[in-house]
Amino acid sequence: MKFAFSTLGVPGLPVSDVLRLAVAHGYHGVEVRAHPEEPVHPGLSPDERTAVAAEFKAAGVEILGIAGYARVAAPGDDEPVLDEIRGLVGLARDLGAPFVRVFPGGSEEQPDADADAVAARRLGTAAEHAADLGVRILVETHDSHRTGADVIRIIGPVGHRQVGALWDVMHTWLGGEQPQDTYAALSPFLGYVQVKDIVSAEDTTPLALGDGVLPLAESVEVLTRNGWDGWLCWEYEKRWYEAAEPLEGLLDAGRAHLGRLLNDSA
């Protein structure tokens, strides 16, 4: 497995400094948070996109994915959601990223079946565009569809190779799903896995990997036992928890912890 970290952990940091951290601390890739407050977002010009891609290539660091905020199950018209996804997919293509992250984003007022159908319809349409550009859209286990069992209700009916799943270990745990059950649900569709650690179910303040309550060892063991060899991406939610420790000082220990989990599971 290869290791990455998300720029959610270093909010607003220039690309050159993100790459310096990745190289210095032994991470193979970076998940790029695509938001207007960040250096990389869909509003970049073609020349700016070319420059970002060149920086990553020169540093020998991969862009694992573009972490967008499109909500595929959200109530309302399809076209604004599809436009947002197309923008993210285009950015991923221009930067050489294989994946785009989207959220389920269903509303509490929606019946589950309606939210599932809306999301599947939109993803089916977006998948054709993504296929043309060689990018895969991943629905994260998050918000209205927190578990693997939830997400499979969306992506299963789509039935398109360009639509898959992103396993966030915190949300599946908060949803009461065991790692082996998440993997069983998502394995045919799994793009990559977001790892993290938190204080408790009631306090999701981010911690160094291994210092909290999340089942990281169990999750890595399930992946290893099944021969999965994709990306583990540390999503340290510094952007939402300003008082959390800076990620830079945790990156070495985090990579070492993931390495130990892989060795132990092997």
- For position 28, what pLDDT does the model report? 97
- For position 10, what pLDDT does the model report? 98
Q: What's the mean pLDDT when you consider all of the chain?
A: 98
Q: Which residues pair with 168 in a beta bridge?
A: 194
How far is CA 213 from each of CA 87, 151, 184, 248, rounded to the nearest angstrom? 36, 23, 22, 22
- For position 64, what pLDDT does the model report? 97
- For position 119, what pLDDT does the model report? 98
Q: Which residues pair with 139 in a beta bridge?
A: 102, 165
- For position 161, what pLDDT does the model report? 96
3-state DSSP helix/strand/coil % of the chain, to nearest 5? 50, 20, 35
- For position 71, what pLDDT does the model report? 98
Residues in the chain predicted with pLDDT less than 50, given as ranges, are: none
- For position 104, what pLDDT does the model report? 98
What angle separates helix 148-158 from helix 112-133, to the nearest 10 degrees?
Answer: 60
- For position 240, what pLDDT does the model report? 97
What angle separates helix 112-133 from helix 78-95, to the nearest 10 degrees?
Answer: 40
pTM score of the predicted model: 0.98
- For position 109, what pLDDT does the model report? 94
